[in-house]
Amino acid sequence: MNIEKIKEKAENLGFVCRENEPMKGHTTFRIGGPAELFIECNDLNKIDLLLKCVRDEGCPLFILGKGSNLLVSDEGIKGVVIYICDDTLMVDGERIVAAAGCKLSSLCIAARESCLSGLEFAFGIPGTVGGAVYMNAGAYGGEVKQIITSCTSITRDGEIKVRSSKELELGYRTSCFKKNGEIILSATFELKSDEKCEIGARMDDFLGRRKDKQPLEYPSAGSTFKRPEGYFAGALIEQSGLKGYSVGGAEVSVKHAGFVINKDNATCQDVLGLIKHIQSTVKTNFNVDLETEVIFVE
């Protein structure tokens, strides 16, 4: 594995590269040690060449968006992190084609400005199009599955794939990409025409609800746990008396028990310790297994 060779080739392709880049600056949790080599990919048309560089050197690879659902190890990430920051999008009638690095907020605003409805639920979710498809992001009764028509991805070997929505295997916080390891390049969304003011009002309503109920004033990775069947994770945690419980700098939010927040310079180990305690307590009290929605990366 030759990091310097990958860096040289990536820079020749026009990409910005940084060695030992602190990942806490690239996750909403504000936690994480250094990435051995961090590459900003702002042109997905060249990603096949970039992947070949990494593949030729047999180097571990991690794909990053806005890091809104990640908990990165204090030791950081070995190998190469490719940060997808190509944020292009195109409106075509009632369809929007967006690159994987496009922020959900930008996509939602573009839809509103084009008088297109269907993305209101995503307004305020701090992620990218790629991450939203990967996780089938959803809120307030809406989810990506309802509006996506197709998705383009690339395998680690450089083969381009185009899938219809039915082939994406979208379910509760999952997609085919969790299993096949492909890198999402872009997605096409089918929306419906509506009055701009009506779309804006729904966006404002959902954003207001988020601000009222979620601890947006602290770094976090959003909802820490998936919703267990027949229950709500936050309610089980609150009923277990864990609101405000902390391990090191990590705390169960007093505003919403479903969120573990970085209250005071928390480490990854603080968060993992708190998650383990929450899972153990809820299991003891309710015999319910809480599965994390947050993805741990090392």
State which amino acid sits at residue 260. Answer: V
Q: Which of 36, 40, 143, 293 is catalytic?
A: 293
Three-state DSSP at 206 gives: helix
Angle at which helix 104-113 crosses helix 196-213, to 10 degrees, equals 150
Q: What angle do CA 40, 41, 42 make, to 5 degrees?
A: 105
Cα gap 58→68, rounded to integer Å: 28
**In a 10 Å sphere around its CB, with 0-12 CB exposed, 13-18 middle and 19+ buried, how is residue 141 labelled?**
exposed
Does the annotation count 223 as an active-site position?
yes
Does the annotation count 94 as an active-site position?
no
For residue 214, give the DSSP letter.
Answer: S
State both tokens at 182: 């492909």
Does the annotation count 173 as an active-site position?
yes
Q: For residue 24, what are the contacts with CB-CB under 8 A and spacing of at least 6? A: 30, 31, 32, 33, 72
Tell which residue, 296, 298, 282, has the closest CA to residue 29: 296
Could you give the C-alpha distances from 190 to 6, 66, 108, 114, 144, in angstroms and in order? 38, 24, 13, 13, 11
Q: Which of 117, 173, 186, 240 is catalytic?
A: 173
Contacts 24+ apart (CB under 8 A), 243-246: 245/274, 245/277, 245/278, 246/274
Q: Which of 223, 240, 246, 253 is catalytic?
A: 223
State which amino acid sits at residue 232. Answer: F
Strand partners of residue 107: none
State the catalytic residues.
Answer: 173, 223, 293
